Amino acid sequence: MYAVIFTATMKLADDEYFETAARMRELALSRYGCREFTALSEGNQEIAISYWDSESDISAWKSDPAHQQAQRLGREQWYASYRVQVARVERQYQQGGESL
Amino acid sequence: MYAVIFTATMKLADDEYFETAARMRELALSRYGCREFTALSEGNQEIAISYWDSESDISAWKSDPAHQQAQRLGREQWYASYRVQVARVERQYQQGGESL
């Protein structure tokens, strides 16, 4: 399992941003094999973590045309700065709630 | 570089919780070699991501007595559920802001 950790400082969060973020989440889950997608924001900070079975799923998602357009708008309009990390989940444990 | 991804659903976030969370962050950074510690909360959801050079640093931090006490209070009082994932950061890219 891979986790893509996206952390950003927002510059502008307008209606188009929220609509696009919701659409991108849905697209990742429905068409690209994303296993889980969690995003939180507090003040102008955002963290989004998505989970994937393989690096090739991540690459396919990154290359989706609608996602490419969203990434361009992110760079140009919405984010003051951001970082993307691809990490391999080596182990996990949990208490309560649902299993992955 | 390793990322420890902590995601939780809160049950109770009282003054002791916020004080303890701030102390634990400081302790991880000052005494256990934590490289970066980012936490966001929105509604009753929390994500905290900490970054470490090695698994042995993570183990040492997990075993710290004050941290063990905080983990116990977390299980008993503050969290309805939580999950901890240890992930190895394989690559990253960023735009704007500071480098790691």
* pTM, full prediction: 0.93
What tokens were used for A36?
A: 């889980």
Query: B40-85, pLDDT tens digit by residue?
Result: 999 999 999 999 999 999 999 999 999 999 999 999 999 999 999 9
Residue B100 has pLDDT above 60, yes or no: no
* CA of B60 vs chain A CAs: smallest distance (Å): 17
- Chain A residue whose CA is closest to B76: A95
Chain B hits for A45, CB-CB cut-off 8 Å, are: 38, 40
- Chain B residue whose CA is closest to A48: B47
Query: A6-61, pLDDT tens digit by residue?
Result: 999 999 889 999 999 999 999 999 999 999 999 999 999 999 999 999 999 999 99
The 3 state secondary structure assigned to chain A is CEEEEEEEEECCCCHHHHHHHHHHHHHHHHHCCCCEEEEEEECCEEEEEEEECCHHHHHHHHHCHHHHHHHHHHHHHHEEEEEEEEEEEEEEEEECCCCC
**pLDDT score, position A98:** 54
CA B57 to chain centre: 13
Q: Which secondary-structure segment (H or E) carries B65?
A: helix B65-73
* CA of A84 vs chain B CAs: smallest distance (Å): 5
